[in-house]
Amino acid sequence: MAASGAWLARATATAVLGFVLAVASAEAASGDVEMVFLKAAVAKGAVCLDGSPPVYHFSPGSGSGANNWVVHMEGGGWCRNPDECAVRKGNFRGSSKFMKPLSFSGILGGNQKSNPDFYNWNRVKIRYCDGSSFTGDVEAVDTAKDLRYRGFRVWRAVIDDLLTVRGMSKAQNGSAKNLPASCTSKPKQSPELCMFPQYVVPTMRTPLFILNAAYDSWQVKNVLAPSPADPKKTWAQCKLDIKSCSASQLTTLQNFRTDFLAALPKTQSVGMFIDSCNAHCQSGSQDTWLADGSPTVNKTQIGKAVGDWYYDREVPRQIDCPYPCNPTCKNRDDD
């Protein structure tokens, strides 16, 4: 769900996979989080599009959070053909050669005041460099473009390292598998549809929290009104700033919100925070997660809603009123 918002799930920790990887850590500046290169994973075929090794950032837990884990899978959309994937080889979306140390904030932040429920957990950010949401497992190299489609191997290598080297095998909470058989084995349904939440969520037993903006800026740009479908650039300004949308475009956006809300699970056990912001990736930035002026729905901020759900303080189902009703929105596009 790399381009469609934040999804948080709980489950029992899974078994260790099988091989230990040698690692090399990039030297990080003060405040930045260690960057771990899994160089030994290359021999197993776990590589970015350009053949460079997988990378993750790791901040160890402490105290009551020593055996709890937050694992964030970086998003970044998909490349749809070899030409698009080849472009990614020249940046951090397709090569770890261009990745740099970064700081953690939001749900990954280490400050108790600004992230009280998860600040002392083991916090991990898995970098995304395969162009297909960690799903590729093609042995052959695309020799025409010198590309490797190995996203699933990257995922497996990182998780194996977390389990065997970093101690995630002792986790009290974790998650397992990619696409559950309960979804992929459904008759009269193509298995690949299980990549999308509206198809896989009804089959899940794992407790689930859904965080998404009803007017998700990435989806508006790339799904609702992608540039190839708008040759006259009618949507160009609207996609950059929702305040620039015409009346007819706003009607389309309201219909987009209605369709999105209709696809959400109806069960009361699923927690959710759906604000009416024109935003994307609201869990990773402190100003949208939990801070003075962060977006609220019914006077509840995102960080509090997620913590209330995880610790069973309540099952929040915060669904905002339609745009432009929420003055607390920070309309942003962190894709």
Looking at the structure, do residues 148 and 278 belong to the same domain, yes or no? no
8 Å CB contact between 109 and 119: yes
Looking at the structure, do residues 112 and 160 belong to the same domain, yes or no? yes
Closest CA to 273 of 238, 299, 305, 321: 305
Q: Could you tell me the pLDDT band of residue 108, with boundaries at 50, 70 and 90?
A: very high
Q: Could you tell me the pLDDT band of residue 4, with boundaries at 50, 70 and 90?
A: very low
Secondary structure class of 48 (helix, strand, coil): coil
Secondary structure class of 224 (helix, strand, coil): helix
Q: Is residue 139 part of a domain?
A: yes
Strand 55-59: give its sheet, edge to edge: 24-26, 35-37, 55-59, 122-126, 69-73
Q: Is residue 198 part of a domain?
A: no
As for how many domains the chain has, the answer is 2
Looking at the structure, do residues 147 and 22 belong to the same domain, yes or no? yes
Give the integer Cα–Cα distance in Å for 2 and 220: 15
- Min mean pLDDT across 13-17, 113-117, 286-290 is at 13-17
| Cα angle 104, 98, 280; round to 5 | 45
Share of the chain above pLDDT 90, in %: 73
Looking at the structure, do residues 151 and 229 belong to the same domain, yes or no? no
- Min mean pLDDT across 11-15, 106-110, 250-254 is at 11-15
Structure tokens given for 117: 């429920």
Q: Is residue 195 part of a domain?
A: no
Residue 193: count of CB within 10 angstroms of its CB = 14
Looking at the structure, do residues 84 and 229 belong to the same domain, yes or no? no
Q: What is the mean pLDDT of residues 256-272?
A: 93
Looking at the structure, do residues 71 and 135 belong to the same domain, yes or no? yes
Sign of the alpha-carbon dihedral angle for 140, 142, 148, 153 = negative
| Residue 202, pLDDT score | 86
Looking at the structure, do residues 135 and 216 belong to the same domain, yes or no? no
Looking at the structure, do residues 162 and 214 belong to the same domain, yes or no? no
8 Å CB contact between 35 and 54: no
Rg (CA), the chain: 20
Mean pLDDT of the chain: 87
| Strand stretches in the chain, DSSP E | 6-9, 24-26, 35-37, 55-59, 69-73, 122-126, 208-213, 271-275, 296-297, 300-301, 317-319
- Min mean pLDDT across 102-111, 160-169, 196-205, 206-215 is at 196-205
Looking at the structure, do residues 74 and 22 belong to the same domain, yes or no? yes
- Min mean pLDDT across 5-14, 33-42, 90-99, 128-137 is at 5-14
Q: What residues form DSSP beta bridges with 25?
A: 36
**Phi, psi dihedrals of residue 242, rounded to the nearest 5°:** -60, -25
Between 230 and 191, where is the model more confident? 230
**Final residue of a domain: which of 175, 198, 221?**
175
Give every CB contact of residue 204 below 8 A, 6+ residues apart in sequence: 9, 180, 182
Looking at the structure, do residues 217 and 334 belong to the same domain, yes or no? yes
Looking at the structure, do residues 169 and 222 belong to the same domain, yes or no? no
Checking if the pLDDT of 215 tops 90, the result is yes
Share of the chain above pLDDT 70, in %: 87
Q: What is the mean pLDDT of residues 149-163?
A: 96
Q: Could you tell me the pLDDT band of residue 24, with boundaries at 50, 70 and 90?
A: very low
Q: Is residue 271 part of a domain?
A: yes
Per DSSP, the residues of 109-147 read: ---TTTSTTTTTSEEEEE---SSSTT-----S-BTTTTB
Q: Is residue 40 part of a domain?
A: yes
| Cα angle 106, 110, 114; round to 5 | 55
Q: What is the mean pLDDT of residues 188-214?
A: 87
Looking at the structure, do residues 139 and 224 belong to the same domain, yes or no? no
Boundaries of domain holding 105:
1-175
Q: Is residue 197 part of a domain?
A: no
| Residue 197, pLDDT score | 84
Instruction: Please state the pTM of the whole predicted model.
Output: 0.78
Q: Is residue 186 part of a domain?
A: no
**Final residue of a domain: which of 160, 175, 190?**
175
Checking if the pLDDT of 112 tops 50, the result is yes
| Cα angle 222, 219, 137; round to 5 | 75
8 Å CB contact between 172 and 13: yes
Task: For tokens 């696809």, name the residue.
Answer: 263
Structure tokens given for 142: 């695309």
Q: Is residue 273 part of a domain?
A: yes
